[in-house]
């Protein structure tokens, strides 16, 4: 087993697909905490932690992850509304063949912008106050996470209800706790 600080290669990661505003791998927005745990076939965390504004979240390890793989955020209603994939140990999530996890942000920025342009959404690219890019139309912000001396992408996916201003640190719905993850 690899030490927790090691970044997994793509071949060692689970391979998931992203359907904007609908699902990430086996997770569908709107699932309950127990449905998420069952879909991940993961050990159920000791419980949900409470964040600001009644958002609850749980960290999940996956059988292949060797460490924290993802954080699931649940709205006040108890339904899955946000998923953040760990850059070190999370599954590789692709969108139409574009790999989103564990990439050097400066390389993925251009590929993501080109992808949106090819979809007729060239004006949809937004940047957070921290410089992370994303698009409301996809419910996606590509955050950066430290991996030793480099940065790698930590995508954050949200449900349609949370997609408005997904890149806005102060007015968007991505939980404050997520904006504080750097390592």
With beta carbons less than 8 A apart as the criterion, state whether 20 and 143 touch.
Answer: no
The β-bridge relationship of strands 23-24 and 27-28 is antiparallel
Question: Cβ distance 4 to 66 under 8 Å?
Answer: yes
Q: Residue 48's closest CA among 21, 75, 87? A: 75
φ, ψ of residue 160 to 5 degrees: the values are: -50, -40
pLDDT tens sequence across 152-179: 999 999 999 999 999 999 999 999 989 9
pTM: predicted TM-score of the whole model, two decimal places: 0.92
79 in helix, strand or coil? coil
CA gap 35, 39 in Å, rounded? 6
Name which of 37-46, 124-133, 152-161 the model is least confident about: 37-46
Which residues pair with residue 86 across a beta bridge? none
Task: List pLDDT tens digits, range 53-93.
Answer: 557 888 888 877 777 899 999 998 999 999 999 999 999 99
| Euclidean distance between CA atoms 163 and 183, whole angstroms | 24
Residue 1, pLDDT above cutoff 50:
no
């Amino acid at each position: 087993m690899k030490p927790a600080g090691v970044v997994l290669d793509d071949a060692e990661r689970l391979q998931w697909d992203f359907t904007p505003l609908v699902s990430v791998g086996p997770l569908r927005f709107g699932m309950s905490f127990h449905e998420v745990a069952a879909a991940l076939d993961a050990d159920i965390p000791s419980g949900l932690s409470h964040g600001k504004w009644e958002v609850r979240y749980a960290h999940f390890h996956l059988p292949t992850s060797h460490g924290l793989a993802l954080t699931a955020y649940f709205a006040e209603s108890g339904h899955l509304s946000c998923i953040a994939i760990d850059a070190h140990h999370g599954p590789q999530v692709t969108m139409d063949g574009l790999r989103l996890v564990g990439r050097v942000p400066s390389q993925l920025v251009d590929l993501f912008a080109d992808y949106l342009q090819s979809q007729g959404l060239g004006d949809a690219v937004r940047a957070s106050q921290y410089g992370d890019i994303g698009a409301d139309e996809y419910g996606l912000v590509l955050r950066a996470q430290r991996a030793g001396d480099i940065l790698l992408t930590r995508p954050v996916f949200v449900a349609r209800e949370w997609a408005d201003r997904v890149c806005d640190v102060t007015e968007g719905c991505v939980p404050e706790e997520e904006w504080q993850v750097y390592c």
